[in-house]
Amino acid sequence: MNGKNDDGRRIVRIGGASGFWGDSSVGAPQLVASGQIDYLVFDYLAELTMSILAGARLKKPELGYATDFVSVAMKAVLKDVVKQGIRVVSNAGGVNPQGCADALAALAAEQGIAVKIAVVSGDDVSPLLPQLRQAQPPVHELQSGAALPERVLTANAYLGARPIQAALDAGAQVVITGRCVDSAVTLGVLMHEFAWQPGHLDLLAAGSLAGHIIECGCQATGGLHTDWDTVPDWPRIGYPIVECSADGSFVVTKPAGTGGKITPAVVGEQMLYEIGDPAAYLLPDVTADFTQVRIEQAGEHRVRVHGARGRAPTASYKVSATYVDGFKTAAQLTIVGFDAVAKAQRTGQAILARTSALLAQHGFGDYSGTQLEVLGAESCYGPHAQTQARQIREAVLRLAVTHPRKDALELFAREVAPAGTSWAPGTTGAGGGRASVSPSIRQYAFLLDKSQVQATVNIAGERIELPRSDVAFADEIVAAPGKASSTEVAPPAADSVEVPLIRVAWARSGDKGDTSNIGVIARHPGLLPTLRAQLTEARVAEWLAHLVKGRVTRYEVPGIGAFNFVCEQALGGGGMASLRNDPLGKGMGQILLAMPVRVDPAELARLLAPPL
């Protein structure tokens, strides 16, 4: 079913139908109905998702997988997938990939369809935890250096693409995995189709990049784009398709007639999303270097990507574990009228003061963490909030707290609603009931030697042997070969003017644990010297100091005229551990885009003038 590109070479067409568990139900039907794909891939898993799935399996042993994959996505498209000969790869298996396969087999039987399903497992390393606690040197968390927690909920290694390749080689029509690196569902397809081997490092890097571009669904087709107002037809936005060639190059596109927008800027934003050093993007199968990647318009809603390079992978898998660290809750009130922001702040302070006193009276001890935000008043901008934001006449008070004891937070939840009659006029919005209390789940990432992890592939009860790899692992990754030079160019001319960064750059931000990265792309190559001179590590760290408590590192990505800023200790713990309204750093790029830079107005107008 594979197509051919303009010069007659075979291409493999892969559609990305899901970026997370909770993505829209329209993705899979849209891609299948387009007739433009050979493979359908789904990415469902985040670190938080694994702990949610583990909890579900504890309650019902047959659960523990992303149920929407079977009950929504595949239920809608399974007949058409089989009819068109489309093959499917998904990490929807979560902590119970066999349970997911069993549910899909039951659906296929119900629809009168025969489907060959493969299951990839082996990522759960929980049985190794007792011996890892005794290991020398001891296991330590990658960011904080902390010791392995006593009560671990989940511990899953990020597997690579080779088990998926083996399953497809064995004839599987659907491959269901547990935890694997997000891009592996695409790379496994390409390794199968083009017979790429572990030693083909440049090709593995290119295939990983293709997977990275489509692993977040519509973020590759205009979703979250800086210039959001230029992206047409949001309700019918297209899901991404990569048309891949054997040389590793690929074209990003979308189903004909759908909404959205595909340009080098859109694809470039996604390339930089949630990565660290762009010259050393560590994956199970390869260490990828994206610094020399080229992204070029190749037609309407078609962007060609090429130039990824690869080095040997390391000898370790990254393991993402989760553990419970007390409890948390968050409550909101709406404050209306004059001085809404000041009233909201005083109300929040009063609730915290009153409940702290009550906790002491009950012998509970004080909160382990608190966060007071006034949504609508640009709280997340800190000292850069606009003065007029404090004059709004409707604001949302958000209070989030943590405590070792659940009953202490239930006390807090009871003391929020009384604000509606006790303090500020115009207090409302408590009609949704008391805030619920839930475990505070933290992430714990560590490295584990690959020799201690054994991935397995099973099809209909038959185990498929994985071929051995003779590729030597890298002992270590040389630090930051893509890091930008600290040498600065001359300061702006005297007649320069100050503009917000958004006038000269696109940006997107994301998270990895408590680290946020912000990819910044010059709107024109001629603006890169301005960014290099003014967008320094020190200046970015100063601008984001109210949010970022750790180091800020700048990396250059010359292939697309961009920088990647990696901000450590930036998300208040990250994920479910964070008390912030934006625990995943989605707004960090927007906050940075407000930073002023100085430019020559005539030069800016010339560089950004629309073509004649």
Determine the residue type at 141.
E
Write out pLDDT tens, residues 435-457: 999 999 889 999 999 999 999 99
**How remote is the C-alpha of 43 from its chain's centroid?**
11
Name the helix (H) or strand (E) containing 510.
Answer: strand 505-512
Is 379 contained in some domain?
yes
Q: Give the pLDDT score at 576.
A: 82
Q: With contact defined as beta carbons under 8 Å apart, do 63 and 95 qualify?
A: no
Do 79 and 134 reside in the same domain of the chain?
no
SS3 542: helix
Do 417 and 287 reside in the same domain of the chain?
no
Q: Is the pLDDT of residue 185 over 90?
A: yes
Q: Which residue, chain included where needed, has tokens 């073509």?
A: 611
For residue 472, what are the CA distances in angstroms to 162, 198, 311, 475, 565? 16, 10, 10, 9, 31
**Token pair recorded at residue 533:** 């001179």
Q: Which domain-ending residue is among 243, 275, 310? A: 310
Q: Is the pLDDT of residue 491 over 60?
A: no
What is the C-alpha to C-alpha distance for residues 549 and 529, in angstroms, rounded to an integer? 28
SS3 282: strand
Is 612 contained in some domain?
no
Q: In the beta sheet, which residues pair with residue 327?
A: 403, 439
Is 432 contained in some domain?
yes
Q: Which domain-ending residue is among 277, 310, 343? A: 310
Write out pLDDT tens, residues 6-40: 566 799 999 999 999 999 999 999 999 999 999 99
Interior/surface letters 63-98, b for 16+ CB within 10 angstroms, e for the rest: bbbbbbbbeebbbebbeebbeeebbbbbbbbbbbbb
Is 482 contained in some domain?
no
Q: Is the pLDDT of residue 288 over 90?
A: yes
Do 166 and 35 reside in the same domain of the chain?
yes
Query: Exposed, middle or buried: residue 171 (CB in 10 Å: 0-12, 13-18, 19+)?
Result: exposed
Q: Give the pLDDT score at 1.
A: 56
Average the pLDDT over 165-193 and give the result. Answer: 98
Average the pLDDT over 405-434 and give the result. Answer: 94
DSSP string computed for 543-559: HTTTT--S-EEEEEEGG
SS3 11: strand
Do 372 and 268 reside in the same domain of the chain?
no
Q: Is the pLDDT of residue 467 over 80?
A: no
**Token pair recorded at residue 92:** 């929807």
Angle at Cα 54 formed by Cα 53 and Cα 59, nearest 5°? Answer: 95
Q: Which domain-ending residue is among 291, 310, 329? A: 310
Least confident of 51-65, 215-229, 403-417, 558-572: 51-65
Do 434 and 519 reside in the same domain of the chain?
no
Is 462 contained in some domain?
no
Query: Exposed, middle or buried: residue 312 (CB in 10 Å: 0-12, 13-18, 19+)?
Result: middle
Do 172 and 94 reside in the same domain of the chain?
yes
Q: Which of 190, 209, 334 has its CA nearest to residue 268? A: 209
Q: Is the pLDDT of residue 212 over 50?
A: yes
Pairing of strands 117-121, 174-177: parallel
Q: Which of 267, 265, 291 has its CA nearest to residue 278? A: 291
Do 374 and 417 reside in the same domain of the chain?
yes
Average the pLDDT over 230-253 and give the result. Answer: 98
Do 136 and 279 reside in the same domain of the chain?
no
Average the pLDDT over 63-75 and give the result. Answer: 97
Angle at Cα 211 formed by Cα 588 and Cα 321, nearest 5°? Answer: 65
Is 63 contained in some domain?
yes
Angle between helices 97-110 and 75-84 (to 10 degrees): 80
Average the pLDDT over 347-352 and give the result. Answer: 98
What is the C-alpha to C-alpha distance for residues 160 and 165, in angstroms, rounded to an integer? 10
SS3 81: helix
Write out pLDDT tens, residues 99-137: 999 999 999 999 999 999 999 999 999 999 999 999 988
Q: Which of 389, 401, 393 has its CA nearest to residue 351? A: 401
List CB contacts of 286: < 8 A, sequence separation 6 or more: 201, 204, 205, 208, 310, 311, 312, 313
Do 300 and 334 reside in the same domain of the chain?
no
Do 166 and 33 reside in the same domain of the chain?
yes
Is 471 contained in some domain?
no
**Token pair recorded at residue 530:** 């301005």
Is 457 contained in some domain?
no
**Token pair recorded at residue 135:** 């290991």
Do 304 and 322 reside in the same domain of the chain?
no
Do 135 and 163 reside in the same domain of the chain?
no
Q: Give the pLDDT score at 612.
A: 65
Structural domains in the chain (count): 3
Find the domain containing 533 and state its range: 497-607
**Token pair recorded at residue 115:** 């489907």
- φ, ψ dihedrals at 518, nearest 5°: -130, 110
Mean pLDDT comparison of 101-110, 483-492, 575-584, highest-scoring range: 101-110
Q: What region does 58 belong to: left with phi over 0, alpha with psi -120 to 50, or beta?
A: alpha
Write out pLDDT tens, residues 511-524: 988 999 999 999 99
